[in-house]
Chain A
C-alpha cells in the first residue's frame, strides 16, 4: 500500500503554518502552532491531534498542498487518538462496510454515484437529470467518512474494492468512463485522497455542481430566476476539491439566486456540527450551529442550500427553526426550472 504523499521537510521549513493558523477550531499563537505541528511532523503526540474536529479545511489552507489533514489522520490512527468514542467508531465501520450485494447493472450516462445515500436518489429527477442512471449503496461507497474516525486504514482497505465494484459491475460493461459524484465525499476521494495515497482511479469523476452548471446552461431558456437570497452550507469534503467551489456562484448566477455576503462561507465556512457531535464536543456544536445560523439570518437569506445529505440531516432543523428553508442544491435548481 502506498504511503501518504507528504513531505516533512516542507512543513519543517514552513513559517506560516497556515494549516493551523487558519483553523477555525484550534486557537494557538503562531509559535505554539509551529511547535505543535512540528510535533506531528516528527510523529509525536500533539494537542492538535486531540483538538482537531476533522473539518478537512486545512487540506485547503496549506499553500503547499502537503496534505496536513490526511497526515493528521495518519498520526491520530498511529498514536491511537480516537476522535469519536470507540463503540460508535466500530459500529460505523461495520455499518458502512461493503456488503457484497452488488450485481451487474448496466448504466447509461449521465451516471450519478449516490455514494452510500441510495435513499436520496429520489432527488435525481426532472429535466436536470434526463436519462440519468444512478448507482449507490455500501458496495460503491467511498468510505471517506472514516477520516472523521482517524481511520485512513479503513479507506485504504476498502477503496480498491469499491472502485473495482464500480468498474466491474457498472461502468465497464456499459462502456462508460465518467461518474458524476453526487456527494463531495466521493469526488474528494477520487480527486484528492486517492492521488494523495498513490491510488489510481480508473474512471473520470465529475463534481455534481459541474454537471448541474453545464446542464443548466443547456436549459437556460427555461430558467425562471429565483430572485431569492440563498446561503450555501459548504460541506467538509468540498475542502478537498476547492477548485469546484466556484460552481456555486456560477449556478447561483444562472438560477437567479443571490448570495449575500456572510462571515462563514468560502474558506471560513463552518462545519454543520454533525461530526463534532459524534466527537462529543457538544458545547462546540452549539456554538458553531448558533453562529452559522445567526450569520445566515443576518444575511437575510430565504434558503439554505446543501449538497451533503449529512449536513442536511444535522442542520436542516435549526435552519428551518430560524425561518430559513433548507434545500438540496439539485432541488434548488429544479425549482428554478419550475419543477
Chain B
C-alpha cells in the first residue's frame, strides 16, 4: 500500500490530528538520544484508546506494516527506532489514570501514562501512597518502563524490578485481539497476577515485540512521612559487596545505589553507597539511621571508609525522586548525547564491573559515570556504565559506540546480562543463550505475531 493511502487509513482510525508523515516528525521519531543509527518510520500514529490500537494493529497486520510501540522514547538504546520502517505507535495520548485502589495498593493506568503524571496524581489525591519511580526523566511511561524490566527508587521493595510490581496487563496482541492478564482477566479487580498462569511475562522484557500494552496494573507502596539518606564513602571498589551486603542485611533501605565517577575531581577515586530510607515517625527514622550506621562500625573505625557528612543542598538532591544527578550528568558533554549499558548482574561482580568500565573508558578516551542500583533484597544489581557524548563530535560518537559494544560484551563476560540493550547487545545475549531458550522465544513470537510486525529486528539473531 502506498504511504499516502496508509496515512489516510490511519486518519480514519484516530483522526487527522494524530497521524503524521511530515518529514520533521519522521526525523524526530527516527532517532533517540543514544548512538544507534536513525531509521525513518513511514508514519507516526497516536491512538487515543485500546480500540483504536486494535484497529491500527489489525490494519498493520493486514498490510504487513511494522509497528514500533513507543512511550516516552527515553530508553536510549534505539528500541523505539523503527529498524524496518513502518509505524511508530506513540502511546502518549493514552494517559488516563483509571483507578487507584487504596486498600489493595495498586493503580490501573493507561499505557502512555507518564511516571511524572502518576506521581503527581498520587501526591495530590492519595498522598499516603507512591509508586516506584525510575530516575528517567518524568516523561518516561509506566508501560515503556515495565516493558523493559525497569527499576527505580523503591528498589528494595518486592522483587525490585518494576515488572515484578505489575499486578495485571491489558494487551493488544499482534493479531489484534485485546486480552487481559492477571486477576483482571477473571474478576473486576487488578490486585495480582497470581494465582493464574503468569502470562504477563509474555510482554515484560520483550521490547514491544509481542504486543502493545494498553493498560497496566501497578503496585503502590506506602509513602512514609519521614525520609533520610546516608552516604557511605569508600576508596576501595573491592569493599562494595561487603558494604552493600551489610546495608541490604538491615532490610531498612528503600533504595540502595552505588556510584563512582571521575567528576567532580574531589570524588574521583572514591565510591559512594547512597542509602535512602523512610519512616512513619521520627523515632523510627532515628532507629533506622542508627541501625544502618551500626552495621558499618567496624569498617569506619578502621578509618578506611565512613559516612560522608551530607550538606543540606546535596541531601535535597539525594532525597529527590527521580534523581536528577544522572539526567544532569547526561548532558555533561553538552550536545545532548547519552547512552548507558545497564547490566543486570550479581552483586559480587560490581568491583570487576567498575574496573572494566574504567578500563574501557580510559582506552576510548571518554568520560563515564559508573554505578549500580541494588535490586530487591540484593538478588542482583543493575550496573550502569553511562557514557555521555557530544552529538556533533562524530569522533566521540564513534568512540562511545565502540565503548558501548565492548561494555556489552564485558558485562556478559562478567556474568551479567545487558538490560534494555540495543540490537547488537541483544544479539550478543542470544549468542550466549541456551539454544532451547531462544527456540522457545522464537516459537512464542511466531504464535503471537505470525506476520512479524511487532518491533522487528529486536530479539533476533543477526
Partner-B contacts on A (CB < 8 A) = 82, 84-88, 90-92, 94-95, 274, 277-278, 280, 282, 313-314, 317
Q: CA of A328 to CA of B91 in the docked complex: distance in angstroms?
A: 52
Q: How far is the CA of A86 from the CA of B304 in the complex (A)?
A: 6
Q: A86-B303, A94-B265 are in contact. Are A282 and B290 (CB under 8 A)?
A: yes
| Chain B, 270-325, CB within 8 A of any chain A CB | 270, 290, 293, 300-301, 303-309, 311-312
Which residues of chain B (299-356) have a CB below 8 Å from chain A?
Answer: 300-301, 303-309, 311-312
Interface size, chain B (Cβ < 8 Å): 23
B374 within 8 Å of A (CB atoms):
no
Partner of B266, one of A95, A274, A313, A317: A95
Residues in A neighbouring B311, C-beta threshold 8 A:
313
| Closest A residue to B308 using CB positions | A88
| B360, CB-defined interface residue at 8 Å | no
B392 at the interface (CB under 8 A from A): no
Please indicate which of the listed interface residues B233, B307, B308, B309 has the most CB atoms of chain A within 10 Å of its own CB.
Answer: B309
A88-B233 contact given A280-B300, A313-B311, A313-B312, CB 8 Å threshold = yes
Residue contact A87 to B235, C-beta cutoff 8 Å: yes
Given the interface pairs A85-B300, A282-B293, the reply to whether A91 lies near B306 with Cβ below 8 Å is no
The answer to whether residues A86 and B235 also contact, given A94-B265, A282-B293 and a CB cut-off of 8 A, is yes
Given contacts A90-B235, A313-B311, contact A85 B306 (CB under 8 A): yes
Q: Is B267 an interface residue (CB 8 A)?
A: yes
Please measure, in the bound complex, the distance between the C-alpha atom of A280 and the C-alpha atom of B303, giving whole angstroms: 9
B141 on the interface (CB 8 Å rule)? Answer: no
B267 engages A88 (CB within 8 Å): no
Q: Complex: how many Å from CA A82 to CA B304? A: 10
Most chain B C-beta atoms within 10 Å of own C-beta, residue among A85, A92, A94, A95: A85
Q: Tell me if A91 and B267 are in contact (CB < 8 A).
A: yes
* Residue B113 CB within 8 A of the other chain: no
Q: Does B455 contact A (CB under 8 A)?
A: no
Shortest B313–chain A CB gap in Å is 9
The docked-state distance in angstroms from the alpha carbon of A90 to that of B306 is 12
**How far in angstroms is the closest Cβ of chain A from B46?**
45
Question: Which chain B positions have C-beta within 8 A of A86?
Answer: 235, 303-304
Taken together as a complex, chains A and B put the C-alpha atoms of A277 and B315 apart, in Å, by 15
Chain B nearest Cβ from A317, distance in angstroms: 8
Cα A90 to Cα B268 in complex, Å, equals: 10
Chain B residues, CB < 8 A from A87 = 233-235, 270, 304-306
Chain A residues, Cβ within 8 Å of B301: 280
Identity of the chain A residue whose Cβ is nearest the Cβ of B234 in the assembled complex: A87
**A90, B269: Cα distance in complex, Å:** 10
Q: A95 — which chain B residues lie within 8 A by C-beta? A: 264, 266
Nearest chain B CB to A204 CB, angstrom units? 32
Contact of B306 among A84, A94, A317 (CB under 8 A): A84
3 interchain residue pairs of minimum CB distance? A85-B306, A95-B266, A94-B266
CB pair A91 B270 closer than 8 Å: yes
Determine if A274 and B309 form an interchain contact, defined as CB atoms under 8 angstroms apart. Answer: yes
Closest beta carbon of chain B to A297's beta carbon, Å: 16
Q: What separation, in Å, do the CA atoms of A313 and B308 have in the docked complex?
A: 15
Q: Assuming the A-B contacts A94-B265, A313-B312, are A280 and B307 also in contact, with contact meaning beta carbons closer than 8 angstroms in the complex? A: yes
Q: 17 additional contacts, CB 8 Å, given A87-B234, A87-B270, A88-B309? A: A84-B303, A84-B306, A85-B233, A85-B303, A87-B233, A87-B235, A87-B305, A87-B306, A90-B269, A91-B266, A91-B308, A95-B264, A277-B309, A280-B300, A282-B290, A313-B312, A314-B309
In the complex, residue of chain A having the shortest beta-carbon distance to the beta carbon of B312: A313
